[in-house]
Structure 1
Amino acid sequence: MAGPEGAFLIGKPAAVVDKILFASETLGGVSRINFQMSTSAQDTAAMMRSIELLDSEVAPTVRQRLQNGPT
């Protein structure tokens, strides 16, 4: 589930970007990804850091790569 083709978006920002793009390609394009985070698995500071990385690194990179098309 957490591997390169698994459903869980876990890992460094670049790995999460790759998994989102893989899912989009596999499904013929996606317009939205929803995230569910559990507070039981992380402390609040770690969860906030994950949210910050989604905003500052993951989302902009996904948008840019989808806009530029396949490489």
Structure 2
Amino acid sequence: MSSATVPAICRNRHFKSLITLQDGEIHSSGIKRGRRKSLNGIIDLLIHYCKDYHCTPANCNIIIGYGVIQRSDRLS
């Protein structure tokens, strides 16, 4: 499959791609089907990160973002 085909398939089947920012670069962290599974995937990534770096949510700044820019929201 070409890289241009994958996003079209993901959009049509309600797949959500999980991306992470690591060392200033964006990386794919997996693909989940459905909103609930993607949210669970994000939680799993956070838990693994905290375990790997021996930190707790109390000593971290956690930022989770979601957004869609619609044509009407763009600046002219």
Q: Structure 1 length as normaliser, TM-score? A: 0.36
Q: Structure 2 length as normaliser, TM-score? A: 0.34
The structure with more strand, counted as a fraction of residues: 2
The structure with more helix, counted as a fraction of residues: 1
Q: Compare relative contact order (CA 8 Å, sep 6+) and give the higher one, 1 or 2.
A: 1
* Structure having the higher Rg: 2
